[in-house]
Amino acid sequence: MIVYDYFPEDGNELLKNVQHDEYSNSVLKIFQAARGVFVEATQRLDVGQAIAERVLAVKSFDHRVLQNAHDIIAAFFRCHLDDGCPDLPEVEQSAAYLDYWREWLDEILEDLMCHEEIVRGVLHSVIFTGEKIGAAAEDQLCELLALFFDGASWMDEHLYQSYTGQRVGH
């Protein structure tokens, strides 16, 4: 996770650090959620065998291919769901944030994985790492997430434009 201000009031460093420390687990959850949907679909649908074999063979992957996707999801959480954990000491705030982040991430991944193009973007980003199709999948995944989370309404204008190619307000 790149610790960066995604929106003007993105100043909760404690929450950013919690998300940063949980980054590896969160990225793995994103991939596992997509793979779970894919495995279920392959049992019902005629899916290309080569793709299925590649997805099922993944034992580890370069986290960087899902880094921007994770960071968009994490920034949305900070922008819209950060309650500030008022009246708690910092150690308890960290634990509360971690629990809330994990629970919310599980819930939002269920919603995201209902969208075939998001599942495909996650899987193609991972299984085609280092290839043009993988890079294109990463870009498309970030664009889809920025649109899914209505990034135009809260995200830094330059970041939103870098993900979508669209200028805010146009």
Tell me what pLDDT residue 86 has: 64
The helices-and-strands tally (H runs, E runs) of the chain is 8, 0
How high does pLDDT run on average in the chain? Answer: 90
In Å, how far are 18, 102, 158 from 99, measured between CA atoms? 10, 5, 31
The secondary element (H helix, E strand) that includes residue 24 is helix 23-44
Please check whether residue 115 is in contact with residue 144, taking contact to mean a CB–CB distance below 8 angstroms. Answer: yes
Nearest CA to 138 out of 79, 76, 61 is that of: 61
C-alpha–C-alpha distance, residues 58 and 170, integer Å: 40
Contacts of residue 65, defined as CB under 8 A and 6 or more positions apart, other chains included, come to: 125, 126, 129, 134, 138
Tokens of 119: 């599942």
The pLDDT tens digits of the residues spanning 146-162 come to 999 999 999 999 999 99
Give residue limits of the domains in the chain: 13-164
In Å, how far are 23, 72, 75, 145, 168 from 47, measured between CA atoms? 31, 29, 34, 24, 38
Contacts of residue 130, defined as CB under 8 A and 6 or more positions apart, other chains included, come to: none
Tell me what pLDDT residue 170 has: 47
Mean pLDDT of each 10-residue bin along the chain, 170 residues long: 84 92 96 92 70 90 96 95 71 88 97 95 96 96 97 93 80
The pLDDT tens digits of the residues spanning 72-88 come to 999 999 999 886 666 66
pTM score: 0.88
Residue 45 DSSP class = S
Question: 3-state class of 108 per DSSP?
Answer: helix
Tokens of 48: 């290309």
